[in-house]
Amino acid sequence: MDKHQRGNKAALTQPQHHDRDRAHQHHAGHQHCSGCGAYFSTGRWSWQAPPADSPCETVTCPACRRIAEHNAAGNLSLSGAFLQAHRTEIVNLIRHTEAQESKEHALERLIDIADEGERLMVSTTGTHLANRIAHALEAAYDGTAHYTYTDNETHLDVSWKRD
Ligand SMILES: [Zn+2]
23-58 pLDDT, tens digit per residue, is 544 446 799 999 999 999 989 999 998 887 788 899
Q: Which tens digits make up the pLDDT trace of 107-154?
A: 999 999 999 999 999 999 999 999 999 999 999 999 999 999 999 999
Q: Which CATH number fits domain 72-161: 3.30.70, 3.40.50, 1.10.3470, 1.10.10?
A: 3.30.70
Full-model pTM? 0.80
What's the length of the chain?
163
User: Predicted confidence band at 5 (pLDDT cuts at 50, 70, 90)?
Assistant: very low
From the CA of 145, how far away is ligand 1's center (Å)? 30
Q: Are 146 and 119 in contact (CB under 8 A)?
A: no
CA of 61 to the centre of ligand 1 (A): 4
All CATH 3.30.70 domain ranges of the chain, comma separated, are 72-161
Distance 55 CA to ligand 1 centre (A): 18
